[in-house]
Each structure stands twice: as structure tokens, then as C-alpha cells.
């Protein structure tokens, strides 16, 4: 594991990239930052940082979009996630690191491929679909820091517009990341590392806000998913290498 300035440089860059995309698109921090942070800090600490960052970014995003959140739609999603977050945290704290890395890589890769393909699933329609998506997303968010793909699949099948998705995804991410952070506790970082995370996260939130109105939705989506897929494959490959 890296330490010193190389670690801080990669940590700051990963947080900056993930937070700017999250603020711009409603999801993306977990997809982009989770693979890098897991490789930098290990699966438990890396995902714990993703969860804590997701809470802060969600609060910042909702400061200007709270009125657009559909709370009645969010209730079954969040309630189902609350049931599976403890299971994801339990597994993340007990499985060996090679197994976690391999599992995280596989989860991220499969989820991203489903989103890329625009999968239409009958199981993700109506209230039952919300419960299924929330349960899957809560487990993946707590275990691997990547609950966004399951929420995205639900949004696609529910016919949400981009304008509807962003504030509701921010609300969902805030609540579920908070539950995940409580279940596992904060990551262990030095004072300088925490300061760097705070500064780069703040810069990323501001950058994402400025870019939101200027970036074509399809182009940004392709970049996010491409980087996420690469990160998932890299994480899974490291896990398989450590298993041998």
C-alpha cells in the first residue's frame, strides 16, 4: 500500500474526480472513487471513506435541490436499503481482503455493464421494483460503496428524466451512505489526509456544480461508466491475483 506524498496525491485526485462527477450527475462518486480508494486503502477503509464522502456530497447537493425530491417515491427504496446495509457491512468486515477485492470488482463490473446496456427488467417496475432496487443498492453501497447502478437501473425502468434523477439520487445517496457509515464507522486517516479529503471534496463539489449546466448528459455518462468499468476490472484483477 502506498504512503506519503504518492498516497496523498492519488487520494486527492480520486476524491476530486469522484466528488465533481457526483455533484454533476447525482451518482458517480462510488463508481469512480471506490475502485481507486479500495486499491489505495484496502476494501474496508476505502469503502468507509466512500460512504462518509457520500453523506457530505449529498448534503451539498440537496442544499439547492431539496424541493425536487419525491419523498413518497424514496420511502420504499430507502426502507429496503436499511434492511440490507447491515448485511453488506457485516460481510465487508469479515471476509478476507482478496475475496473482498474480487467480489467488489465483480459487483462493480456487472452493475456498470447492466447500466450501459440499459437493461429493462420487469422486476424493477412499481413499488416491488423500488423495494428490489433499494435492497440491492443498500447491500452494494455498504459492501462496495457502489449503490448507484442499482438505483440507475430502477430509474431507467421507472422512466425518470435526468432532472428527476439527480436530486432524488442525491437524497438516496445521503441517507444510505449515512446508514452505511454508521454500520462500519469512519475510515482511519491521518490529519493531513483528512484535510486533503475535505479540500478536494469541496473543490470537486464546486467544479461539478459549474460543469453541470455545460456538460452534455450522454458524454458525461459515457466517461463515468467507462472509468467505472475500468476501475471494477482493475479491482477484480488485483483480488484474483492475491488469491493465487
Cβ neighbours for 11, distance < 8 A, ≥ 6 positions apart: 37, 40, 41, 193, 196, 197
Q: Is 161 helix (H, G, I), strand (E, B) or coil?
A: coil
Residue 91 CA, distance from chain mean position: 18
Enclosing domain of residue 8: 4-243
pLDDT beyond 80 at 157: no
Q: What is the CA radius of gyration of the chain?
A: 16
Per-residue confidence (pLDDT) for residue 197, from 0 to 100: 92
The arithmetic mean of pLDDT across residues 42-54, rounded, is 87
Cβ atoms of 168 and 73 within 8 Å: the answer is yes
Rounded to an integer, the average pLDDT of 128-134 is: 85
Round the average pLDDT of the chain to a whole number and report it.
81
Per-residue model confidence (pLDDT) at position 207: 86
Instruction: Look at the chain and report how many structural domains it folds into.
Output: 1
232: pLDDT strictly greater than 80: no
Global confidence as pTM: 0.78
Question: Which is more confidently placed, 193 or 33?
Answer: 193
Amino acid at each position: 500500500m502506498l504512503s506519503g506524498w504518492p498516497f496523498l496525491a492519488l487520494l486527492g485526485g480520486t476524491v476530486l474526480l469522484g466528488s465533481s462527477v457526483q455533484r454533476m450527475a447525482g451518482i458517480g462518486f462510488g463508481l469512480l472513487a471506490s475502485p481507486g480508494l479500495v486499491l489505495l486503502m484496502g476494501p474496508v477503509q476505502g469503502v468507509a471513506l466512500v460512504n462518509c464522502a457520500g453523506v457530505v456530497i449529498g448534503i451539498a447537493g440537496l442544499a439547492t435541490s431539496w424541493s425536487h425530491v419525491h419523498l413518497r417515491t424514496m420511502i420504499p427504496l430507502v426502507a429496503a436499503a436499511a434492511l440490507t446495509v447491515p448485511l453488506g457491512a457485516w460481510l465487508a468486515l469479515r471476509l478476507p481482503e482478496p475475496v473482498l477485492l474480487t467480489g467488489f470488482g465483480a459487483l462493480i463490473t456487472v452493475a456498470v455493464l447492466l447500466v450501459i446496456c440499459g437493461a429493462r427488467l420487469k422486476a424493477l417496475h412499481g413499488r416491488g421494483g423500488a423495494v428490489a432496487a433499494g435492497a440491492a443498492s443498500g447491500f452494494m453501497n455498504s459492501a462496495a460503496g457502489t449503490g448507484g447502478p442499482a438505483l440507475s437501473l430502477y430509474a431507467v425502468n421507472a422512466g425518470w428524466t435526468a432532472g428527476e434523477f439527480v436530486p432524488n439520487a442525491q437524497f438516496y445517496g445521503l441517507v444510505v451512505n449515512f446508514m452505511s457509515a454508521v454500520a462500519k464507522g469512519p475510515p482511519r486517516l491521518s490529519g493531513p489526509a483528512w484535510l486533503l479529503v475535505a479540500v478536494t471534496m469541496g473543490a470537486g463539489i464546486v467544479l461539478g456544480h459549474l460543469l453541470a449546466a455545460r456538460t452534455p448528459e450522454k458524454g458525461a455518462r459515457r466517461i463515468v461508466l467507462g472509468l467505472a468499468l475500468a476501475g471494477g476490472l482493475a479491482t477484480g484483477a488485483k483480488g484474483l491475483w492475491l488469491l493465487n
